[in-house]
Amino acid sequence: VSETSQQAFIRGTMSMLILSLLKRGDMYGYEIVQKIAQASEGRITTQEGSLYPVLYKLEDQGLISHNKILVGKRMTRVYYHLEKEGEGQLDKMVQDYNIVTDGVRMIIKGCGADDTV
Minimum separation from the CB atom of position 36 to another protein (A): 13
**Closer residue to another protein, CB minimum distance, 56 or 97:** 56
Q: Is 92 in the site for another protein (CB under 8 A)?
A: no
Separation between Cα atoms, residue 13 and residue 93, nearest integer Å: 9
Residues 4-33 that bind another protein (CB under 8 A): 11, 14, 29-30
Residues 34-63 that bind another protein (CB under 8 A): 46-57, 60
Minimum separation from the CB atom of position 75 to another protein (A): 6
DSSP 52-107: HHHHHHHHHTTSEEEEEEEETTTEEEEEEEE-HHHHHHHHHHHHHHHHHHHHHHHH
Q: If we measure between CA atoms, which residue out of 60, 63, 49, 69 comes closest to residue 18?
A: 63
**Closer residue to another protein, CB minimum distance, 71 or 104:** 71
* Contact residues: another protein, CB under 8 A: 11, 14, 29-30, 46-57, 60, 72, 74-78
